[in-house]
Amino acid sequence: MTFDGLENFEMLALDYRQVGGVLPKVEATGVDLLIADCPGCVLQLRDGLDKRRSQIRFKHIADAVAEERPRAGKAENQRG
């Protein structure tokens, strides 16, 4: 169960316990980047990764897309 929006801030203690159970599973996949869009998830996952001193990087989806757009534009310009 997850809580989005304002409920997220009211239920932080519960959600932080859930994050503690999710992050070991995420780390076990071997990924090096975790992306989310939910504001509450962003806060909790980033904080959880920091507290675990995880090597997994975390980004909001808007930041990840913004970083990739310039690269995509360069590739298109080189073709044309």
| Mean pLDDT computed over 31-50 | 88
Domain assignment present for 1: no
CB atoms within 10 A of CB 44: 22
Top pLDDT among 80 and 22 is at 22
Total number of domains constituting the chain: 1
Alpha carbons 47 and 7: distance in angstroms, whole number = 18
Domain assignment present for 67: yes
Q: What is the pTM of this model?
A: 0.65
Q: Are the CB atoms for 36 and 42 separated by under 8 Å? A: yes
Q: Are the CB atoms for 56 and 33 separated by under 8 Å? A: yes
Percentage above 70 pLDDT, the chain: 66
- Tell me which residue range forms the domain holding 65: 6-79
